[in-house]
Chain A
Amino acid sequence: MDERLRTELSRQGVFVTTLGELYNWGRKNSIWPLGFGLACCAIEMIAASMARWDLARFGAEVFRPSPRQADLMIVAGTVTKKMAPQVVRLYNQMPEPKYVIAMGACAISGGPFRDGYNVLQGIDRYLPVDVHIPGCPPRPEALLHGFMTLQKLIEEQELTGARRPRHLADGPPSEFPIPEHGEHGLVPSHNPELWPPAKSSA
């Protein structure tokens, strides 16, 4: 629909929308995060959810204690190799549509512990991360910004065609392989379908 016509109509008190826009508007304003934290980033995440920064303004105040009821996984903190299989398992237990925010340097790349013997060098080796929030730890404002970025991403998702989200595609629901604890580290060391990320042509 022509954007100018829509603006003109709304000026006259007539609101025009599409079913897809309505659908995405509903989805993006009730993203329920999974209530789990791994390290100090979790403290900032908790602060962001409380009265001062008030994540409730974005419809995301309901931190769910069960992955079955959550839409968003905020990976807040250092993912150790001992913890990584459980993180992937929790993600697999979440129903589609689901999203992942990697919060903080550790969740993105391992951060200051990157060269340690027990730290995963970024959760995007096993999970499809939608938004990365840099910082050590990121301030609650940064989490809010990352959250709004995710809302924008959901708003712009097409519901039909080749670029439709995973949960609207045909086929069985996606399962991400859970790494196992091997003799010297995690096996496999990454999910080859996700990592390394494809080089962008732009």
Chain B
Amino acid sequence: MESLEQIKLWIEGAVPDARIEIVANPGPAAQHSLLVGLDQAVPVARFLLEDSRLRLDYASNVTGVDWPETMLKEKRKVKQTIDGVEREIEETSEHVRPGYLEVVYHLYSMALKQGPVILRLRTRDRTASARVPSLTPVWRGAEFQEREVFDLFGVLFDGHPDLRRILMWDGFRDFPMRKDYTPTPEVEPVPAPIP
């Protein structure tokens, strides 16, 4: 399998205005992924499928990740002069990273026996515009898995042929795999006293 940097260059050569970013995985698996801009996601996916060096013809897995809004702390070392003496002081800055949802595609090539290449699509936020373009027109097998991501995370897939809930019933309103989901409290029986 070619390196992600090489694949990124190929994509940028084939789809000129694609915005591609490599998301590094710091864990021992070191399974890095490609963050693809939403506007060009479908042409990029079609390129990955059709390019003779990649031929990623099998979408093995589609899943979602919820990233709620978090406070990020950054530490920096700053040199300051106090009373004529130069000292190094640690400065902490905080900023809010807005929440978003991610859809992750694991792609393999059956034809060339290679993979995986991991694609990430990131929604703009977690509420009103939690939308990504559907990749079902490119990989037909992604249909049910995208429905599952819609069902459990609430990501809307533009261009999906049949976007309905797949596990929960149609009248269900919540998205149970989101981090801020709390199930409705159930009635607990009062345990009988031990004699």
Contact = CB atoms under 8 A, between A and B. Distances in A.
Interface of A: 82, 115, 117-118, 121, 125, 181-185, 189-190, 195-197, 199-200, 202
Interface stretch (B1-9, B21-29, B172-180): B172-180
Interface in B137-195: 167-169, 171-174, 176, 181, 183-184, 186-190, 192, 195
A121 B169 contact: no
A144 B176 CA distance: 38
A200 B186 CA distance: 22
Nearest to B183: A117
Contact of A195 (B167, B189, B195): B189
A174 B192 CA distance: 28
13 contacts: A117-B174, A117-B183, A118-B167, A118-B168, A181-B169, A181-B171, A183-B173, A184-B184, A189-B184, A189-B186, A196-B188, A199-B192, A202-B195
Contacts of A82: 167-169
Contact of A182 (B171, B183, B188): B171
A190 B188 CA distance: 11
Given A118-B176, A189-B186, 15 more contacts: A82-B168, A82-B169, A118-B167, A118-B168, A181-B171, A183-B171, A183-B174, A184-B172, A184-B184, A185-B184, A189-B187, A196-B190, A199-B190, A199-B192, A202-B195
Given A82-B168, A200-B192, A121 B173 contact: no
A200 B168 CA distance: 37
A118 B172 CA distance: 11
A196 B186 CA distance: 11
Nearest to A185: B184
B171 to A, nearest CB: 5
B195 to A, nearest CB: 8
B3 to A, nearest CB: 40
Contacts of A185: 183-184
A2 B195 CA distance: 34
A84 to B, nearest CB: 11
Contacts of B181: 117
Interface of B: 167-169, 171-174, 176, 181, 183-184, 186-190, 192, 195
A115 B185 CA distance: 10
Nearest to A182: B171
A34 B157 CA distance: 42
Contacts of B184: 184-185, 189
B189 to A, nearest CB: 4
Nearest to A202: B195
Nearest to B185: A189
Nearest to B192: A199
Which 8 pairs across A and B sit closest by C-beta, in order of nearness? Answer: A117-B176, A196-B189, A181-B169, A183-B173, A185-B184, A184-B184, A199-B192, A117-B183
A181 B190 CA distance: 26
A199 B192 CA distance: 6
Contact of A183 (B172, B187, B189): B172
B189 A181 contact: no
Nearest to A183: B173
A195 B187 CA distance: 9
A190 B169 contact: no
Contacts of B189: 195-197
Contacts of B188: 196
A181 to B, nearest CB: 4
